Amino acid sequence: MDKERNKIIASNIRKYINESGMTQKKLAEKIGIQPSTMSDYLNLRSNPSHGVIQKIADVFGILKSDIDTTYKVSNGITTIYNQLTNERQKRVLDFANEQLNEQNNKVLHINSNNIVSEEVVVYGYASAGTGETLIDDVKFKTHYRGHIPNHDFALQVNGDSMEPLFEDKEVIFIDKTKQINSGQIGIFIINGEAFLKKVFISDEGIRLVSLNPKYPDLFFDKNHDVEVAGKVIL
């Protein structure tokens, strides 16, 4: 699979996860893979097989081509090609080979630069445990391997309470916002410390949930000051 196709597949999987309200972990369980493998697919560290894509489509009750939209294009090309005369098919094949050679030359040029990661500025820490002070100045720079989404700032996760989705020391990307919906994962400021948690909102207050079951939920009624610093980009 090429990189653009992988991006399309990952983006569509994220879309259907968000629309369904399902977690990445739950989807991974339903199709019989590890949550870390699902995370690799969504962050372009590995590629889902055609069989995995079909299983994901079955879970959401959609077509495989709704996830891998390039499949629609491929089928369309084949349908048109089969209607051409032999001479016109040869012209199409010659043109396709020219395009492939041009593409491969560009890929080789990129590979020669050994581009395997990108530098990310990390602005602080978010606790997946007991809380971290979130500081606005630059803390450090690191190289991130994988797709870097558009984001407002990046943080490093400290702790294991959000495993298996987020591991200790993992870099996460944040959209800066004061608005967040129930069921989403965000950065929350409590008594000056930043927490990475999944939030559930009710009339009684808000509940901050760790994905690691060994950590208890944190509940705050409406009298507590809980600030939303941003929403995690999944």
Task: Output the CA torsion 136→129→40→112 (10° steps).
Answer: 40
pLDDT for 107 equals 47
Interaxial angle between packed helices 3-20 and 50-60, expressed in degrees from 0 to 180 and rounded to the nearest 10: 20
Q: Which amino acid is at 175?
A: D
Q: Using an 8 Å Cβ cutoff, are 46 and 34 in contact?
A: no
Q: Please give the DSSP secondary-structure letter assigned to residue 220.
A: E
User: Is 200's pLDDT higher than 90?
Assistant: yes
State the residue for tokens 């495989």: 64
Q: What domains are there in the chain, each with its CATH number?
A: 3-71 (1.10.260.40), 77-105 (no CATH), 117-233 (2.10.109.10)
Q: What does the chain come to in residues?
A: 234
pLDDT: which is higher, 221 or 86 = 221
pLDDT: which is higher, 234 or 57 = 57
pLDDT for 78 equals 65
pLDDT for 27 equals 94
Residues 6+ apart with CB under 8 A from 2: none
Buried b (16+ CB within 10 A) or exposed e, 168-192: eebbbbbbeeeebeeebbbbbbbee
Task: Give burial (CB, 10 Å; 0-12/13-18/19+) of 221.
Answer: exposed
Q: Using an 8 Å Cβ cutoff, are 120 and 143 in contact?
A: yes
78: its two tokens: 């084949």
DSSP reduced 3-state for 176: coil
Instruction: Measure the CA–CA gap between 144 and 193, rounded to whole angstroms.
Output: 25
Q: What is the pLDDT of residues 105-151, one digit of tens each?
A: 554 444 444 445 677 877 767 766 555 545 455 477 888 877 888 88
pLDDT > 90: percent of the chain: 21
pLDDT > 70: percent of the chain: 79
Q: What is the pLDDT of residues 18-35, one digit of tens each?
A: 888 889 999 999 999 999
If you average pLDDT over residues 95-113, what whole number do you get?
58
Quickly count: other Cβ atoms within 10 Å of residue 56's Cβ. 27
pLDDT for 20 equals 87
Instruction: Measure the CA–CA gap between 232 and 42, rounded to whole angstroms.
Output: 14
pLDDT for 112 equals 43
